[in-house]
């Protein structure tokens, strides 16, 4: 179930669904998603679906990981990306192979500790982790060329807008309940441009760290 053929089928599906960035597809092809889910769900790791990872959280659907990564990279290479919501570490692992440095914030410590172990196991060492509140971002290390948010915010956190570098891009789901939209925010010379990219479904971005 975790065979190369199964992975190839997933990549073909992502391509057919419109993911066209060859580098993103190649990174998803070689990243072992089965390591980021419980053993009992490993046989479903290469399905294009979100899966539970405990603590009321999910590992994102591969299409969404690919699409959000592609959107971040659309304007060219990035050297410094802030990820809000480490979760299982799967999106983190994909990003770390696409950009120079990833700074990842997670409020649930046990999830982030597991994610750290997985990234060490895969020898992905260009990621720095912070246990804290995603709504606050990571101001001490700002600004960031890219920001990716892997949980839905009721509105766009001002702290994250403030931490986006000029020309920087932020991909974030915004909304609540059934009504959620994926948005691309670009920091322009005179403010921010906002692009609505379509309906999505994410777990909520909650306040406050949790041990």
Task: Enumerate the active-site residues.
Answer: 60
Kindly report the CA angle at 148 between 142 and 149, in degrees rounded to 5? 110
79 vs 24: CA distance, rounded Å = 16
For the record, the structure tokens of 127 come out as: 């990621």
Q: Which residues contact 34 (CB under 8 A, 6 or more apart)?
A: 1, 2, 42, 45, 46
Q: How far is CA 87 from the centre of its chain?
A: 9
CA distance to 29, 35, 143, 168, per residue, from 8 (Å): 7, 17, 37, 32
């Amino acid at each position: 179930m975790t065979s190369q053929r199964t992975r190839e089928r997933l990549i073909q599906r992502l391509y057919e669904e419109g993911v066209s960035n060859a580098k993103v597809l190649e990174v998803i092809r070689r990243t072992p998603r089965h390591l980021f889910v419980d053993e009992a769900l490993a046989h479903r790791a290469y399905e294009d679906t979100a899966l539970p990872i405990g603590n009321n959280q999910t590992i994102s659907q591969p299409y969404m990981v690919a699409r959000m990564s592609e959107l971040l990279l659309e304007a060219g290479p990035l050297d410094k990306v802030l990820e809000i919501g480490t979760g299982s570490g799967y999106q983190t692992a994909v990003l770390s192979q696409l950009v120079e440095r990833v700074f990842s914030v997670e409020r649930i410590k046990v999830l982030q500790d597991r994610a750290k172990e997985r990234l060490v196991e895969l020898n992905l060492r260009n990621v720095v982790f912070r246990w804290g509140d995603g709504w606050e971002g990571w101001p001490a290390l700002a600004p960031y060329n890219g920001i990716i948010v892997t949980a839905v915010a009721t509105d766009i956190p001002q702290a994250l807008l403030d931490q986006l570098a000029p020309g920087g891009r932020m991909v974030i789901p915004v909304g609540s309940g059934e009504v959620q939209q994926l948005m691309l925010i670009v920091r322009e010379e005179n403010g921010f441009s906002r692009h609505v990219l379509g309906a999505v479904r994410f777990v909520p971005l909650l306040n406050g760290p949790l041990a």
